[in-house]
Structure 1
Amino acid sequence: MYWWPLLSLFGISFLAATLVPAQSELALGALISLGRYDPWLLILTATAGNVLGSLVNWVLGRFLHQYRGRRWFPVSGRSLERAERIYRRWGVWTLLLSWVPIVGDPLTFVAGLLRTPLKVFLPVVAIAKAARYCAIAGVAQLF
Structure 2
Amino acid sequence: MAEFVVANGYLFLFLLSFLAATVVPVGSEWLLVALLYSSLDPAGLLASATIGNVLGACTTYAVGVYGGPFLVEKVLRINSQTREKAAIQYRKYGTWSLLLSWVPIIGDPLCLAGGIFKTPLAWFVSLVLAGKLGRYAFIEYITLQAMG
TM over 0.5: yes
The answer (yes or no) to whether the contact 1:87–1:107 under 8 Å persists in 2 is: no
User: Residue 31 of structure 1 corresponds to which residue in structure 2?
Assistant: 35
The DSSP-based 3-state class of the residue aligned with 1:101 is coil
More helix by percentage: 2
- Residue equivalent to 1:66: 69
TM-score (norm 1): 0.83
Cα pair distance change 1:122/1:3, threshold 3 Å: farther
- TM-superposed CA distance for 1:18, in Å, is 0.5
Which stretches in structure 2 are left out of the alignment for 5+ residues?
A: 79-85
Aligned pair count reads 133
Map 1:17-56 to 2 at 5 A: 17-34=21-38, 36-56=39-59
Distance 1:140 1:111 in 2: 32
Unmatched runs of 5 consecutive residues or more in structure 1: 78-83
Normalization by structure 2: what TM-score?
A: 0.81
Q: Which runs of 4+ in 1 moved over 3 A?
A: 84-89
Alignment equivalent of 2:94, drawn from 83, 91, 111: 91
Amino acid at match of 2:9: P
Percent sequence identity over aligned pairs: 40
Displacement of 1:4 after TM fit?
1.0
Q: Between Structure 1 and Structure 2, whose CA radius of gyration is higher?
A: 2
Q: Aligned-pair distance for 1:138?
A: 1.1
